[in-house]
Amino acid sequence: MAAINRDDVAHLARLAHIEMSDQELDRMAGELAVIVDSVKSVSQAAGDDVPATSHPIPLSNVFREDVVGHTFTAEQALSGAPDSDDNRFKVPAILDEA
Partner 1 sequence: MNTEAILSFEEAMEKYDPVLGFEVHVELNTKTKMFSSAPNVFGDEPNTNVNEVDLGMPGVLPVVNKTAVESSIKIGLALNCKIAESCRFARKNYFYPDTPKNFQTSQYDEPIAYDGYLDIELSDGTVFRVEIERAHMEEDAGKLTHMGGATGRIHGADFSLVDYNRAGVPLVEIVTKPIEGAGSRAPELAKAYVAAVREIVKNLGVSDAKMERGNVRCDANVSLRPHGRERFGIRSETKNVNSLRAVEHAVRYEIQRHAAVLDAGNPVVQETRHWHEDTRTTTSGRPKSDADDYRYFPEPDLVPVVASREWVEELRATLPEPPAARRKRLQADWGYSDLEFRDVVNAGVMDEIEETIAAGASASVARKWWMGEIVGRAKNADVDPGQLGVQPATIVELARMVEEGKINNKMATEVLDGVLAGEGTPAEIVEKRGLAVVSDDGPLLEAIDAALAAQPGVADKIRGGKVQAVGAIVGGVMKATRGQADAARVRELILEKLGVTA
Taking CB under 8 A as the rule, does residue 39 contact partner 1? no
- Residue 90 binds partner 1, judged by CB under 8 A: yes
Rounded Cα distance between 25 and 16, Å, is 14
89 belongs to the binding site for partner 1 (CB under 8 A): yes
Binds partner 1 by CB under 8 A, chosen from 1, 17, 19, 42:
17
Q: CA torsion sign, 87 to 93 to 94 to 98?
A: positive
Cα–Cα distance for residue pair 95/38, rounded to 1 Å: 39
Asked if residue 14 binds partner 1 (CB under 8 A), the reply is: yes
Residues in the chain: 98
Query: What is the contact surface with partner 1 in residues (CB under 8 A)?
Result: 11, 14-15, 17, 54-55, 57, 59-74, 77-78, 85-98
